Amino acid sequence: MRLLFLGDVVGRVGRAAVVSRLPGLIERLAADFTVVNGENAAGGFGITEEIADHLIEAGADAITLGNHAWDQREALVFITRRDRVIRPINYPAGTPGRGANLLTARDGRRVLVVNVMGRVFMDALDDPFAALSRELDACPLGAVADAAIIDVHAEATSEKQAMGYFCDGRVSLVVGTHTHVPTSDHRILPQGTAYMTDAGMCGDYESVVGMDKEEPLNRFTTKLARARFEPASGEATVSGIIVETDDATGLALRVAPVRLGGRLEQALPEWA
Annotated catalytic residue, options 68, 153, 180, 186: 68
φ/ψ of 176, rounded to 5, equals -90, 150
Q: By CB neighbour count within 10 A (0-12 exposed, 13-18 middle, 19+ buried), where does 225 fall? A: exposed
Q: How far is CA 144 from the centre of its chain?
A: 22
Residue 88 makes CB contacts below 8 A (sequence gap 6+) with 65, 66, 67, 69, 99, 115, 116, 117, 125, 128, 153
**Pure H helices in the chain:** 11-29, 49-58, 75-78, 128-138, 157-167, 214-222
Going by C-alpha positions, the residue among 205, 167, 152, 122 that lies closest to residue 37 is 152
* Amino acid sitting at position 83: D
- Is 68 catalytic? The answer is yes
Is 9 within 8 Å of 201 (Cβ atoms)? yes
Strand partners, 187: 195
Residue 191 parent element (H or E): none
Just list the catalytic residues.
Answer: 68
